[in-house]
Amino acid sequence: MVRTEQMHNTRRRAIDAARRLFLERGYAGTTIAAVAEEAEISPETIYSSLKGKSGLLEGVIEAAIMGPEGAVSEQQRWLESVARLPSPRQRLRGWVDASCHTLARTSPIHAVIRAAADREPFAVALRERLLQRRLAQVTALAADFLHGALRPGISGEDAGHRYAALLSPEMYHLCTADLGWTPQRFQTWATQLLETDLLDESTDAEQR
């Protein structure tokens, strides 16, 4: 038990250090030695527990997706909270809010992955895995949260793809980093656009 906790703490220190250095120096400019020094652990520990620098980058994005409290507590809490909202329009708004909180954590790391993908095949594969996982999750959530409320002609898969495109790390980065929007401006814009694009005109109009 003690050893497991020590291993967990060591892994977390390595991932936290790697996140800081990746954001500061980029993937190419970050070395295992620098991460080890920052985390106050040995380079050998990083190789054995995280499979080197590529494993560090994957660990950093997974930690960002999970959130500070871990995968089960944070993700499950907001999913349950959104699912309890009484109308599809309210659930869509709550879903966008939750997604934007996640994007604020993950978008900078996705930018590191995109830059690494120019030279590193593993980063190309990592981007593809993350995209396919996100598409599957979003499509399932669209079916749960917006069931019976979509505009005629829009399937659950269509809704999931449109949501994933608009609430993508790339779009969030473009708006908040490149265009200088505040996170709140992005969230308001995305919410309004998705309400218009996805929801049937007759859907709980009183909730507008």
> Residue 133 in contact with residue 62, Cβ under 8 Å?
no
CA angle 75, 77, 83 (to 5 degrees): 100
pLDDT digits (tens, 9 = 90+) for 74-127: 767 888 899 999 999 999 999 999 999 999 999 999 999 999 999 999 999 999
How confident is the model at residue 163, as a pLDDT?
97
Q: End-to-end distance of the chain based on CA atoms, in angstroms?
A: 52
Is the pLDDT reported for residue 159 higher than 90?
A: yes
What are the structural domains of the chain?
Answer: 1-53 (1.10.10.60), 67-202 (1.10.357.10)
pLDDT digits (tens, 9 = 90+) for 28-46: 999 999 999 999 999 999 9
- Section 137-161 average pLDDT: 94
Q: Using CA atoms in the order 172, 173, 175, 181, what is the torsion angle rounded to 10 degrees?
A: 100
Distance CA 60, CA 32 (A): 14
Residues 6+ apart with CB under 8 A from 46: 14, 32, 35, 36, 39, 52, 55, 56
Better-scored residue on pLDDT, 74 or 133: 133
Is the pLDDT reported for residue 205 higher than 70?
A: no
pLDDT digits (tens, 9 = 90+) for 169-203: 999 999 999 999 999 999 999 999 999 999 998 76
- Section 115-144 average pLDDT: 95
Gyration radius of the chain over CA positions: 19
pLDDT digits (tens, 9 = 90+) for 43-62: 999 998 888 999 999 999 99
Distance CA 199, CA 204 (A): 9
How confident is the model at residue 204, as a pLDDT?
57
Three-state DSSP class for 21? Answer: helix
